[in-house]
Amino acid sequence: MSHVEIRKAWVKVPNDSLEIEAYLAEPIDAEIRAAVIVIQEVFGVNSHIRDVTERIAREGYVAIAPAIFQRTAPGFEVGYGEEDLKLGRFHKDQTKATELLSDLQAAIAYLKSARSISEIGAIGFCFGGHVAYLAATLPEIKATASFYGAGIAVMTPGGGAPTMTRTSDIQGKLYAFFGTQDPLIPVEQIDQVEAALQTHQIDHQVFRYAAGHGFFCEQRSDYNAEAAGDAWEKVKELFSELRR
């Protein structure tokens, strides 16, 4: 479906007194009932995240990337340098799981009201991969792709029990993608996440690639074309279930 023409725009997603900026891409002249929420890395809703959002739209979905740093850094977008990473991590450290889930719930409500969406999935990268695992615990999320989400086994945004302890709340299907050479995610933590998914009998698959952190992003030094290509096919397979 990658030939599908799309429209794209920045929109505002209301969440009580907060207005969350979000990048929206959707097919033109098509009645779409399925949507995917795209969750950013610590670098903001930057060109890579916008590109992923557009790629998903070209596959026939409404795709929306909410700015998850809206509370502390509206309009935040940086590159992939060391100072950029430092700044991104600063804002990541200000987030709380409760607020992130509230913002994702607001995005879901927006999709249902503004776009009459009935089936919703989520995909996230880096810190967004961790947040995607949180998103999977929301009952409306039917399919989740979590890419190299660091810390799932050992922490949660804002403090408290690790996000992995919420695994039993996942009701849809989850695909998790990891690089076995990722310095931010020890292999034993990947094993722990996989064990939790198995223990709670979540419909899931865990994919491991001989790659480093950020292997899906062409703008990062760890980009791995082979791993990225294979993972994209898996993502398309996962989200195709939203249309069934």
Using CA atoms, how far residue 5 sits from 36, 37, 45, 70, 236, in Å, is 17, 19, 21, 29, 18
Kindly state the tokens that stand for 105.
């719930």
Is 84 catalytic? The answer is: no
Of 91, 130, 213, 217, catalytic: 213
Which candidate, 241, 188, 219, 171, places its Cα nearest to that of 52?
A: 219
Is 213 catalytic? The answer is: yes
Is 169 catalytic? The answer is: no
Of 130, 182, 204, 217, catalytic: 182
Of 126, 130, 204, 217, catalytic: 126
Q: Which residue has 């209301």 as its token pair?
A: 14
Helix (H) or strand (E) holding 150: none
Find out whether 10 and 4 touch, Cβ atoms under 8 Å. Answer: no
Which candidate, 32, 238, 15, places its Cα nearest to that of 116?
A: 32
CA dihedral 15, 54, 96, 165 (to 10 degrees): 120
Active site residues: 126, 182, 213
